[in-house]
Amino acid sequence: MADELERKFDVKIQTTEEKVKFPAELKERLKESGLMDDKGKLKLKGVSPKMLKRMKQEFVNCPVLKEDIQFVQCFICPNFQSRVMGEVLCKGDPLK
């Protein structure tokens, strides 16, 4: 299909009941890009507070970093294409 997004991976989104803490490095990146305020509150455009709460309890096994990462980290990644039916469409390009 010509209208499909170009991607290498379809990554399953997994959930956890635990409250997941953001790594300090991720918090800094979010603040620098204006996606988090100084108090540590996420500000993602077009994402409702309810969805944000859900996203904080989700993680993916990143095929590029070869580790489990929080969904928010995946969501802001340049490889992130789209979220479709519990999966992330990932370009799979190497990250700097």
Tell me the per-residue pLDDT of 17-53, one tens digit each, with 9 for 90 and over.
887 778 888 889 889 989 899 888 888 888 898 998 8
Which pLDDT tens digit goes with each residue over 43-79? Answer: 888 889 899 889 989 999 999 999 999 999 999 999 9
> Is 67 part of any domain?
yes
Domain count, the chain: 1
> Is 12 part of any domain?
no
> Is 83 part of any domain?
yes
> What domain range is 80 assigned to?
21-90
> Is 57 part of any domain?
yes
> Is 11 part of any domain?
no
| CB burial of residue 71 (10 Å; 0-12, 13-18, 19+) | buried
> Is 10 part of any domain?
no
> Is 3 part of any domain?
no
Residue by residue, DSSP assigns the chain as -TTSPP-SEEEEEEE-SSPPPPPHHHHHHHHHTTSB-TTS-B--TT--HHHHHHHTTEEEEETTTTEEEEHHHHHTSTTEEEEETTEEEE--PPP-
> Is 51 part of any domain?
yes
